[in-house]
């Protein structure tokens, strides 16, 4: 029996879908995901998409559940997915994001009802919660999504207490990510997922008052020379990227307050990536003197 697409249209418009839908039609909905965190959310809910934008990039940068995508169709890149490839897959639901796809919504909705996740401009960590709830509701899996978010709440509360006991409460931290061979780095502002995590963990930072597009600003090593704070650097895959002569002049490096986080952390949301980042950041801070 073909899934009633009107139910999915209601989900896309009102971010609500009857949890009975999947059971009533006795098959898994055919879902297209056009952004990395949407793909991660679907996989975390037990839904393997029938099509994904940039699956190779997802496997490289996010990696959560990547083995399940080996035989999933690519629908092109995230910014300009192939409308023809999307239509051929006959999806029941398309999950897109406003900052990339708002202008394409009309085209998408000719193919299938579209859940357009909002732009993550206000609070990246809050966006992890709201996006996952929206996707969970749209797929009739709201309780599963909520359970994962409650676990994230508990994890953050536990790590906050551990950091407080270690003397980190209110201490400043700046989180950066290298860009693989480019002299600039991403600096995570207060409205980013990492920025939201550090606030939730009871930390402060030089960029917490900044609201940046997609939560990131750009910095160079020279910008760090006057920054007297602990630095956390997400790996860009280059060994020893912070070993150059100019890096040795950065106060955090001189004082042994540079934390190099492990590779494979995705800092732009997702129900698995976000807890992984919370754990990695807290564990790294607890290993160094504040």
For residues 251 and 233, what is the distance between their CA atoms, to the nearest angstrom? 14
- When the pLDDT of each residue in the chain is averaged and rounded to a whole number, the result is 87
CB 261 within 8 A of CB 232: yes
pLDDT at 115: 96
> Of 88-92, 233-237, 261-265, which one has max mean pLDDT?
88-92
Question: Is residue 20's pLDDT more than 50?
Answer: no
State pLDDT tens for residues 277-287.
999 999 999 98
pTM of the model: 0.88
184 vs 163: CA distance, rounded Å: 30
Residue 62: pLDDT over 80: yes
The whole-number average pLDDT for the span 1-14 is 41
Dihedrals φ, ψ of 21, to 5°?
Answer: -60, -55
DSSP secondary structure code for residue 167 in this structure: T
pLDDT tens digits for 106-123? Answer: 999 999 999 999 876 668
β-strands 185-188, 173-178: how paired? Answer: antiparallel
Contacts of 16 (CB under 8 A, 6+ apart): 10, 137, 138
142-165 vs 124-138: helix crossing angle, rounded to 10 = 160
| pLDDT at position 182 | 62
């Amino acid at each position: 029996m073909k899934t009633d697409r009107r139910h999915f249209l209601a989900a896309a418009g009102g971010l609500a879908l009857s949890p009975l839908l999947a059971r009533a039609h006795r098959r898994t909905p055919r879902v297209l995901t056009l952004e990395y965190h949407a793909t991660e959310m679907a996989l975390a809910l037990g839904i393997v998409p029938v099509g994904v934008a940039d699956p190779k990039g997802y496997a490289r940068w996010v990696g959560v559940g990547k083995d399940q995508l080996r035989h999933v169709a690519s629908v092109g890149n995230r910014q300009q997915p192939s409308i023809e490839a999307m239509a051929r897959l006959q999806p029941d639901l398309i999950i897109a994001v406003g900052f990339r796809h708002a202008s394409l919504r009309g085209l998408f909705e000719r193919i299938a009802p579209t859940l357009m996740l909002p732009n993550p401009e206000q609070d990246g960590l809050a966006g992890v919660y709201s996006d996952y709830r929206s996707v969970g509701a749209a797929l009739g899996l709201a309780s599963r999504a909520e359970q994962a978010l409650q676990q994230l709440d508990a994890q953050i509360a536990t790590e906050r207490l551990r950091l407080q006991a270690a003397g980190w409460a209110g201490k400043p931290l700046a989180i950066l990510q290298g860009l693989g061979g480019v002299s600039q780095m991403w600096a995570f502002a207060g409205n980013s997922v990492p920025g939201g995590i550090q606030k939730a963990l009871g930390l402060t930072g030089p960029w917490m008052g900044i609201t940046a597009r997609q939560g990131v600003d750009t910095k160079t090593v020279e910008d760090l020379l006057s920054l007297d704070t602990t630095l956390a650097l997400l790996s860009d895959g280059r060994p020893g990227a912070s070993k150059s002569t100019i890096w040795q002049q950065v106060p955090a490096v001189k004082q042994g307050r540079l934390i190099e986080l492990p590779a494979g952390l995705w800092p732009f949301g997702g129900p698995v990536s976000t807890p992984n980042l919370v754990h990695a950041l807290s564990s790294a801070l607890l290993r160094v003197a504040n």
